[in-house]
Every structure is written in C-alpha cells, then in structure tokens.
C-alpha cells in the first residue's frame, strides 16, 4: 500500500531550488531582495526553506529543518511577470492576503514546470 493509505498526509507535488524575492506584504510594496530558496509544493501550500547549499554541514539536520515561510495557494493568482525584473523566466505569485513573490530560474524548462504545477493546484482549489 502507499505510504499515505489513510489520505491524511498531503501529497508532495514538487521540490527544487528557485530564486525568490518577496515584493509585497499585505499589499504594501517591499524592497526586492533576491535569494536562492528550496521550494516545496505540498498539498495546498508552497513552502520555502533556506537553500541547503548556503548552510554549513553542521547546521544541516535532515528532517529537522524548519520552513522560513509558507504560502497558501487557495485563491492565489499566478502570472508571468518578466516586466517586473531584468531577469528572465520570472513569474509572480499573489496570495489572497496580498503577499507577492517573484520566482525565477535560469532554466526555461524548469520554470515552466513550476508555473504549470502551481497553476494546476490553484485551479484545482478554485473548483473545490
Ligand atoms: O525592480 P528593481 O527595484 O529595479 O529591482 C532591482 C533592485 O531591487 C536591486 O536592489 P537595490 O535597488 O537594493 O540595489 C536588486 O539588486 C536587483 O536584483 C533588482 O532587480 P531585478 O531586475 O534583478 O529583479
């Protein structure tokens, strides 16, 4: 049987490294501060962790690392947003609470996969 036969553990959909900056908090604009982030899409949430490569080996404890932040995808909006950055492959995620994030990758195929996967989750939640 699957490890989640009781259906209580949300399914991990995707995980990987992306460049991230938060550009608004509660509708209030923030100064950009790009950084590399380990991004995990699980259940209805996008969860951000520190880039494991930026951590010293001694501080890296598998399973005990806490998320830096997490985003509820219910009611969120997703748009390509190359006009908002000089970087390529940028999309913007806006939560119902007015938090806005830009996510970016130098790898075209990778950013398209992330965009499509997040879009699918948002659309699934819209139908519920
Ligand atoms: O959209 P902006 O404000 O031109 O974004 C750039 C700046 O935030 C810049 O920081 P400082 O203004 O604090 O020096 C960042 O270093 C850049 O990365 C930002 O632009 P990009 O085009 O990389 O999103």
Ligand 1 pocket by Cβ (under 6 Å): 31-32, 34, 85-87
Reported residue count of the chain is 128
| Ligand 1 nearest-atom number relative to CA 34 | 18
Full-model pTM:
0.87
Distance 87 CA to ligand 1 centre (A): 10
* Residue 12 clears pLDDT 90, i.e. is over it: no
User: Which pLDDT does position 62 carry in this prediction?
Assistant: 54
User: Which pLDDT does position 4 carry in this prediction?
Assistant: 55
Largest CA distance in the chain: 48
pLDDT in tens, 27-75: 999 999 999 999 999 999 999 998 877 765 555 555 557 889 999 999 9
Distances (CA, A) of 87 to 15, 91, 98, 108: 22, 10, 23, 12
User: Which pLDDT does position 11 carry in this prediction?
Assistant: 75
User: Atom 6, ligand 1: which residue's CA is nearest?
Assistant: 32
pLDDT in tens, 91-116: 999 999 999 999 999 999 999 999 99
| Ligand 1 nearest-atom number relative to CA 104 | 24
50 beta partners: 37
Distance CA 21, CA 34 (A): 5
User: Atom 21, ligand 1: which residue's CA is nearest?
Assistant: 85
Mean pLDDT calculated for residue range 79-92: 98
User: Atom 9, ligand 1: which residue's CA is nearest?
Assistant: 32
The ipTM estimated for the assembled molecules is 0.90
């Amino acid at each position: 049987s699957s490890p989640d036969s009781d259906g209580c553990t949300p399914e991990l959909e995707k995980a990987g490294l992306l460049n991230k900056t938060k550009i608004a908090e509660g509708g209030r604009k923030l100064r950009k501060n790009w950084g590399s982030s380990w991004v995990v899409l699980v259940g209805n949430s996008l969860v951000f962790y520190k880039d494991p490569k930026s951590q010293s080996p001694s501080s890296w404890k598998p399973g005990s690392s806490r998320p830096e932040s997490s985003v509820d995808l219910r009611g969120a909006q997703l748009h390509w947003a190359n006009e908002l950055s000089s970087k390529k492959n940028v999309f913007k995620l806006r939560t119902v609470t007015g938090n806005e994030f830009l996510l970016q990758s130098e790898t075209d195929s990778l950013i398209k996969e992330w965009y499509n996967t997040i879009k699918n989750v948002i659309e699934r939640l819209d139908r519920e």
